[in-house]
Structure 1
Amino acid sequence: MTRTPPPEGRFDRRLLAPMMLGAVLNPINTAIIAVALAPIGIALGAPASETVWLVSALYLATAIGQPLVGRLVDVFGVKRLYLAGGALVAVAGAIGLLIPATHDSVWWLVVARVVLGLGTCAGYPAAMHLIRAEGQRTGVASPAIILTVLSVTTQTVAVIGPTLGGLLIGAWGWRATFAVNLPLGVACVILGWILLPRTTGLEPAKEDRPRIDGPGILLFAVAMLALLIFLQNLSVATLWLLAVALVAGAGLVWWELRVTEPFIDLRVLGGNGPLLLTYTRALLTAIIAYTFVYGFTQWLEQGRALDPTVAGLVLLPVFAAGIVFALAFGRRPEVLWKLLIGSIAQLAAGILVLFMTGGSPIWFLVVTMLVLGIPQGLNNLAIQNTLYYQAQPERIASSAGLLRTFMYLGAIVSSVIYGNVYGARASTSGLHVLGWVVIGVATVFLLITVFDRSLRALGRESKGAQAEPSRVDSRA
């Protein structure tokens, strides 16, 4: 099928469908599994110590795979990696649909989640690559509307994920939470085949393609795998994993500084302090967000004694406010004031937690969630936009993948924090400790934002060019 040329001077609207579908695959599978763990455990006779690997497997595969697949997107282009990712997602759905319901099957489901994690790794890096390529083709300095649509889409899916999972389980059982990936993966392959360009202009010519840094990829994978498993199983007995992570990390640094075509260009990354701070903000944002979403939810059910349904409703304002703020301010390309407002709101949410008790009224809990929704919308949007400005165009996909790695690392760190703070039960005193943790993390976030001078110019230099792109993008 011959692909017609893209429209002159405006974002190619045909790219939106595959971009958004690819980008939501990971967050929807991250959210949907939350309501499926208990039914899977009951059906297969698997304890929580085994079913928890259904969550960890996706985290591990994605944290390691995103920068790897992003690098492959930068080198070989979007289309072939996007199609391969869609095919893997469909395969993962088929595994979950067809395996027999025996106790050992839980480990086949873990394999399916690993395959699923690797398959979803292409979506977000590919979307960022396409946005950057379209920005260069059209002359749009900052396609703010398209970046906002990407951010809001992933946030919306995170909201509806658990509800969708509950509906699927109620109608067709736990297998449906895996089987849903079969049509999604097939849709990715069809849309990607028809709508995605074979080349975008950002990837190098065939004769100039860099070699794939196999040793660097292996060292990165070993370091991340050991670190993430250590953080999820924090104990003296697992200290050897930390040692493996440190040795592999040191080997990675040594190798990447010497190889001519590195997997992660540490020379450039080390000289790009603003980008390193962006990754740090992504890590801190994830720690706060996941501490609230999971740690606060546990307290609502155990410390505040709310029904799980009511607890879920209390959390909805976080995501609703996040989407509203992202939509309201997404047209503005500047990032500094978004990050400052977001960091102050994070501080305020942490302080409000200190005043919560087992008898706190629902309205007070909802107000706290509304406050937390401000950084949920502004920080995520600003961090994504900042990455767009700061990353090298030829490495935009791998930089976007590395951003997701830092966010998943933050999610795992948060699970270590609230797991150790709460212990056997989510008490109000433990919640207050989490409040102080949020205040501390938010303070660090605020300080590294205030003193980051590079943020002041981001977005401002494109104001003159932004009026027309905003009008053009809104038609997309």
Structure 2
Amino acid sequence: MARKQTSAPAPGWTLAASILASSLAFVDGSVTNVALPAIKADLSASAEALQWVVNAYLLPLSALLLLGGAAGDRFGRRQVFLAGLVAFAFASLGCALAPGLEWLLAARVVQGASAAFLMPNSLALLGTAYSGAARGKAVGTWAAVGSVAPALGPLLGGWLIGAVGWRAIFLINLPLAAGAIALGWLKVREAGGEGKARLDLAGVAAATAALAALTWGLTVLGAAQPQVTQGLVAVAAGAALLALFLVTEWKRGSHAAMPLALFATRSFGGLTLLTFLLYGALAANFVLVPYVLIENHGYSPLQAGAALLPIPLVLAGSSRFMGGLAARIGPRWPLTIGPLVVAAGFALSARLSSDAPYLTTLLPALCVIAAGMALAVAPLTGAVMASVDSAHVGTANGFNSAIARTGGLIATALLGAVLAAQGDALDRAYAHAALAAALAAALAGIAALVMLKPSEVTGAK
């Protein structure tokens, strides 16, 4: 794929290719949620296995995002971007043709790893194609699609499952990936050549092993019939590997995948905690709501996907206003109030039951959740960038994105008992999970209030 770049950049084509490619990755993280009941029935999957249909994608995506960005710096962002797209397309085909659960999980791992390489480089390519105010607008457009696309995934997936079957949610990736590859190959140009950045393979290996052990341990502990000893051993091993990761990053200094210099300000730590808690709660909700509606309330996959439609609609309609508000008053209060509003929405959703009308229970809850997310999403990226020095802006954004996926990974690992429940017990288990999500979102808002310093998150250092 590597060839000398001589043509002038084509910013519009770069934006189109980046949005199309990253949308594939964003949507594939959520589209499977409405497919879980169909996969469960077709492949005779247990509740624990259903968790891994989601987490087999999130685990490599979370662990390899920083490596994907560093690989682009080392080998060329366009080359790594295209390689990630090609691998994602082949992995999607593998998911669609999976003869059994093991094959599906293996293909999902490759999908997640591929997404980890294409996502950070799709954003980085925008940085080389645009400059000044135009760059801000392009990144804002990319981020807006990234916020709305995961919420649209269940609607698209529900339609495809009803019309064709669950395998179609992966086959649809092929023409979209082909379009992104064609745009990337023919129209995208990257200013500058390959860098000399050294890849932090030891750090990434430790992080991947730590997340894998923690995820497996929490999955075992969160099951309907938990294996306590095995789970605790796995969690302890994950914690030890996480400590090894931190030691490795400290020794590598500025060459680390996660330079500890990122945490020089208290605000960056607060933003990290906020992101982990808020996006973990949101990911759990995106998994459970379609599942409960299909399994317990007689919804079709399309109806379950449409039930989540208020979230992308509210986000799309209010994000621009919320972004302007945050620019005027600073990000601290939006990042405090937004998660608290989300917490109220999760608490409202706990009223969901088989005899409760959608229009008076789930719909208002989802609208409140969406309003809170609209308030929080817009200022988060700017606050992350402002909370670190200029040399670490790109790494900080990549790390924050990885933390958001890690939050979803850990949250999904804790849902085993809910997914194993049936009938009224499933509604009760969902209510408990919704209240736990409300607590996590509220703690995210408190973290913003206590830990964010206005001088560190507005650029006025």
When structure 1 is superposed on structure 2, of 425-434 and 51-60 the one drifting more is 425-434
Deviation at 1:86, TM superposition (A): 0.9
Instruction: Report the counterpart of residue 220 of structure 1 in structure 2.
Output: 207
Task: Name which of structure 1's ranges 428-437 and 211-220 shifts more when overlaid on structure 2.
Answer: 428-437
Alpha carbons 2:318, 2:374 under 8 Å: kept: yes
Instruction: Map 1:295-310; keep pairs closer than 5 Å.
Output: 295-297=288-290, 305=297, 307-308=299-300
Task: Give 1:448 shift.
Answer: 2.0
1:341-398 per-residue CA deviation (whole Å, 9 max, x = no partner) reads 3123124324534666665443332222211111222322322232333455555444
1:257 maps to a residue whose letter is W
| Correspondence 1:437 to 2:449 | no
Q: Distance in 1 between matches of 2:453 and 2:246?
A: 26
- In the alignment, structure 1 residue 230 sits paired with structure 2 residue 227: no
Q: Report the alpha carbon displacement of residue 3 of structure 1 after superposing the two structures with TM.
A: 5.3
- The residue that corresponds to 1:123 in the other structure is 118
Say if 2:346 is the partner of 1:343. Answer: no
Q: Does 1:5 align with 2:8?
A: yes
Residue identity matched to 2:146: T
| Residue of structure 1 equivalent to 2:140 | 148
Q: Distance in 2 between matches of 1:335 and 1:439?
A: 21
Find the partner of 2:103 among 104, 108, 111.
Answer: 108
How many angstroms apart in 2 are the aligned matches of 1:173 and 1:306? 17
Report what 1:180 is aligned to.
Answer: 172
1:187 Cα deviation from its structure 2 partner: 2.5
- In structure 1, what is the Cα distance between the partners aligned to 2:164 and 2:352? 39
Residues 1:385 and 2:388 are matched in the alignment: no
> 1:367/1:107 Cα in 2 relative to 1: closer, same or farther (>3 Å)?
same
Cα deviation, residue 17, structure 1:
0.8
In structure 2, relative to structure 1, the CA distance for the partners of 1:340 and 1:243 (3 Å cut) is: closer
> How far 1:325 sits from its partner (Å)?
1.6
Q: Percent identity?
A: 22
Q: Distance in 2 between matches of 1:439 and 1:48?
A: 23
Number of residue pairs the alignment of both structures matches: 445
Partner of 1:27: 26
174-183 or 423-432: bigger deviation: 423-432
- Counterparts of 1:423 and 1:2, CA distance in 2: 54
Equivalent residue for 2:403, pick from 398, 401, 406: 406
In structure 2, the CA distance between the partners of 1:448 and 1:32, relative to structure 1 (3 Å rule), is closer
Q: What does the per-residue CA deviation read over 1:411-442, in whole Å, with 9 as the maximum and x for residues that have no partner?
A: 23333555447862445654554454344323
1:82, distance to aligned residue in structure 2 (A): 0.1
C-alpha distance in structure 1 between counterparts of 2:121 and 2:257, whole Å: 18
Structure-2 residue corresponding to 1:57 = 56
Q: Aligned in 2, Cα 1:436/1:181: closer, same or farther, shift over 3 Å?
A: closer
> Take 2:436 and 2:167, find their aligned partners in 1: how far apart are those partners?
38
Partner of 1:449: 448
Return the alpha-carbon distance in structure 2 between the equivalents of residues 133 and 371 of structure 1.
37
Q: What is the CA–CA distance in structure 1 between the aligned matches of 2:442 and 2:210, rounded to whole Å?
A: 29
Cα distance per residue 1:15-60 (max 9 Å; x no partner): 2112101211222112222343444455555555545433221111
Kindly indicate whether residue 269 of structure 2 is the aligned counterpart of residue 276 of structure 1: yes
Determine the structure 1 residue equivalent to 2:224.
none
Equivalent positions of 1:175-324 (< 5 A) are 175-199=167-191, 206=195, 209-234=196-221, 235-236=227-228, 237-297=230-290, 305=297, 307-308=299-300, 311-324=304-317
Going from structure 1 to structure 2, the CA distance change for 1:342 and 1:311 (only over 3 Å counts) comes to: same
CA gap 1:89/1:416 in 2 versus in 1, 3 angstroms: closer
Aligned residue number for residue 327 of structure 1? 320
Which of 413-422 and 25-34 deviates more? 413-422
Residue 211 of structure 1 aligns to a residue whose secondary structure is: coil
Match of 2:358 in 1: 362
CA distance in structure 2 between the aligned counterparts of 1:221 and 1:307, rounded to whole angstroms: 37
How far, CA to CA, are the matches of 2:219 and 2:135 in structure 1? 38
Paired letter, 2:441: A
The worse-fitting range, judged by mean Cα deviation, of 315-324 and 76-85 is 315-324
Q: Which moved more, 1:426-435 or 1:272-281?
A: 426-435
For residues 323 and 6 of structure 1, what CA distance do their matches in structure 2 show? Answer: 29
**Cα distance change of structure 1 residues 456 and 427 upon mapping to structure 2, 3 Å threshold:** farther
Say whether the 8 Å CA contact 2:14–2:126 is kept in structure 1.
Answer: no
Distance 1:130 1:440, change over 3 A: same
Q: Is the 8 A contact 1:24 1:157 kept in 2?
A: yes
Determine the structure 2 residue equivalent to 1:468: none
Structure 1 stretch 124-133 or stretch 82-91: which is displaced more?
124-133
Q: 1:173 to 1:347 in 2, by over 3 A?
A: closer
Q: Secondary structure at the match of 1:264?
A: coil
- 8 Å CA contact 1:69, 1:121 repeated in 2: yes
CA distance in structure 1 between the aligned counterparts of 2:93 and 2:415, rounded to whole angstroms = 35
Say if 1:325 and 1:377, in contact at 8 Å, map to a contact too.
Answer: yes
- Distance in 1 of aligned mates of 2:291 and 2:164: 27
**What is the CA-CA distance between 1:326 and the residue it aligns to?**
1.3
Q: What is the distance in 1 between the residues matched to 2:44 and 2:351?
A: 41
Q: Give the distance between the partners of 1:256 and 1:457, measured in 2 at CA.
A: 24
Q: 1:302 Cα deviation (Å)?
A: 7.0
Q: CA deviation at 1:283?
A: 0.9
Q: Name the CA shift for 1:402/1:422 in 2 (closer, same or farther; >3 Å).
A: same
Residues 14, 195 of structure 1: 8 Å contact kept: yes
Q: Deviations over 1:182-234 (max 9, x none)?
A: 3333333222223333345xx8x74xx23222322222221122112222222
CA distance in 2, matches of 1:259, 1:449: 30
Alpha-carbon distance in structure 2 between the residues aligned to 1:36 and 1:111: 17
Root-mean-square deviation (Å) = 3.4
Q: Once the two structures are superposed, what CA deviation does each residue of 1:226-249 show, in whole Å capped at 9, x if it has no partner?
A: 112222222422222222212222
Q: In 2 relative to 1, CA 169–358 (structure 1 residues): closer, same or farther, beyond 3 Å?
A: closer
Structure 1: gaps spanning 5 or more residues: 463-476
Deviation at 1:134, TM superposition (A): 5.5
Q: Give the 5 Å matches for 1:410-421.
A: 410-420=407-417
- 3-state SS of 2:30 partner: helix
Answering whether residue 65 of structure 2 is matched by residue 69 of structure 1, we say no
1:107 is matched by which residue type in structure 2? Answer: E
Work out whether residues 147 and 385 of structure 1, in 8 Å CA contact, stay in contact via their aligned partners in 2. no
Q: Are the counterparts in 2 of residues 339 and 378 from structure 1 also a CA contact under 8 Å? A: yes
> Aligned partners of 2:298, 2:165: CA distance in 1, in Å?
26
- Contact 1:224–1:245, Cα closer than 8 Å, also in 2: yes
Contact 1:282/1:407 (<8 A) preserved: yes
Kindly provide the amino acid, as one letter, of the partner of residue 28 in structure 1: V
Does the aligned pair in 2 maintain the 1:74–1:394 contact within 8 Å?
no
Instruction: For 1:271 and 1:412, locate their aligned partners in 2 and report how far apart those are by CA, in whole Å.
Output: 26
State the one-letter code of the partner of 2:117: A
Larger mean Cα displacement after TM superposition, 255-264 or 416-425: 416-425
